[in-house]
Structure 1
């Protein structure tokens, strides 16, 4: 490998992994691989173990805790002479964020009920892209709701206002009975939410707010139409 001086090895086996055994198998093999490279004279000093540890998108599901992940790594690499690098993205930000949306109206048909909200697939693309699940809950009990409403919860298809079937967040999801102007929250929206948002269908990017106890601050302003269109340049021959 003339003119190349390898100094590190990187591994990434996937994303949203909810079992430690694939990590354990992969890390054991990569440790062996690093030792083999060193026996061949390569000075491998850095090992990037990537990310991929899953988080609970649904209530009642409990993926491995980061402490258990760390204990497994210590068991494999304890005393191993190598700088370890980690890339924990989703496991840090995922459950730190929610997306709040307002009910525009409800639509009742013979086959099913629809909950149309003001958020759309451009704001949170994961359900449309990956058929991904997000728990969705009311922000608070509205005046028209009673404490026992959840026991006889209707099932809604929860959809956005964009004119295509892909703008669907959930199908036949049990929710308290809701009506226009009620607020709902999408849990676990802190990862792959805002960073994957777009202005598709000429929809404006939504605001981002950071909350610290009783304090809050806007960290990204809601986009305006002027801001959305200012990047566009009209060719001279169309003026």
Structure 2
């Protein structure tokens, strides 16, 4: 076959791999931009929440415990926003971490954020219910006032186990697998006890359905992260 003298050099013709690479780069930049925008919203929320929490610390109408939990939540959102901002900037710039850098899987980081926010939410809920500033039906108030040591033991032990599992998995420790297994065993027990034994009284049937669905979703997340941790252990990434 004769060479075409007017054809561009083969090095200047974009290959299929180069085309795919450019398309992938476009979506990478797009994801980075969206992530930066999302992180900015989180940072704004954290700053507004932090200012409100500081004001509540000096307010006589709001208990200091609630204000401190608000401040802790705002700090967590601030850390999350900064981290997402860094990820977004790295995606847009195309920079990669050095090969020798200690990379933690993204799902490990997200799970730690998930359990941390859950723990803060539970503590905050109990503080605000204890203060009496949260509107509740008489049945809900009676249920909360009648909670005993077993209720607190189940709820807070489950929360602490989730948090411990998140921290140890973030540190890539093998004990995280055992902690996740314990939380998986405890979660359905807590769910059955809360909805069918403890006398839990939702404001409406719809609220009960939402609560049950939320619990099932939480269990699904635990199952998924447990399977993921087993995979990490098989790969030798947990020590």
- TM-score bracket for the superposition, by shorter chain length: under 0.3
- Structure with the larger helix share: 2
TM-score in terms of structure 1 length: 0.20
